[in-house]
Amino acid sequence: MAKHTKKQTRGSKTGKEIQEARPARTLSPFEEMDRMFENFIPRGWMRPFRTEWPAWGELAAPFGGRMPKVDVIDRDDEVVVRAEVPGVEKEDLDISVSDNSVTIKGKTRHEEKEEKGDYYRCEISQDSFARTVALPDYVDTQAAKAGFKDGVLELTLPKIEKAKRRSIKID
C-alpha cells in the first residue's frame, strides 16, 4: 500500500523543534487494487482501435445512463428549475412536484433502419431517466408552470412564504 509521510513540527522548551512523522490516509485494499488496475490498464485503452469514429451509436442515445443537467435558481418570490433534456419529446416527459422537491422523468427512443439490396440493418435504442432535485424553499405546487423549448425544460415554482432575513444580536 502507498504510504506518504507528512512532517509536523512542534516546539519544545529547549528551543529546538521536533519533527514527527505522521502517515497520510491509507487506501483500503479495494481502493489500492483499483489504483493498480487503473495504472496498469487505463480507462479507454481500446478507444484508438475503434474503426467507427466518432462513435455515432453513442451520439444517437442522448442520455446513455447519464442524468440530465439541472439548474436550480432561487429568486426572491420563486424557484426556477431548468433541465437540459435534448432528444426528448414533450410528450415523453413526466414532471411531479412536491412541497420541497421536483422529479423529472423522461424517455427516448431512437430507431434506425438501413436497407440496401439483400442487406437489412435495424437498430433500436431506448433510454430513460429520472432525477429528483431538492428545492431550497417550500413552493406552491398548484401555481407551478412549465415550459419546454429547444430541449430545455423550465419550471417556475412560486414560493409559499418569502424567507425573511433578520439580524440576530450576539449576547
Q: Give per-residue pLDDT as tens, 159-169.
A: 886 555 677 88
Q: Is residue 22 part of a domain?
A: no
**How many structural domains does the chain have?**
1
Q: Is residue 15 part of a domain?
A: no
Predicted confidence (pLDDT) per residue in 74-101, tens digit: 888 899 999 999 888 889 999 999 888 8
Q: Tell me the pTM.
A: 0.54
What separation, in Å, do the N-terminal and C-terminal C-alpha atoms of the chain show?
Answer: 51
Instruction: Cite the DSSP H helix spans in 7-141.
Output: 29-40, 56-60
What's the domain range around 79? 56-158
Q: What is the pLDDT of residue 111?
A: 86
Q: Is residue 121 part of a domain?
A: yes
pLDDT at 51 over 90: no
d(CA 52, CA 8) in angstroms, rounded, equals 54
Judge contact between 63 and 125, C-beta under 8 A. Answer: no
Residue 153 — very low, low, confident or very high, per pLDDT cuts 50/70/90? Answer: very high
Q: Is residue 12 part of a domain?
A: no
d(CA 158, CA 35) in angstroms, rounded, equals 47
100: domain CATH number? 2.60.40.790
Q: Is residue 68 part of a domain?
A: yes
Residue 36 — very low, low, confident or very high, per pLDDT cuts 50/70/90? Answer: confident
Looking at residues 31-59, what average pLDDT do you find? Answer: 61
Q: Is residue 45 part of a domain?
A: no
Burial class (CB in 10 A: 0-12, 13-18, 19+), 106: buried
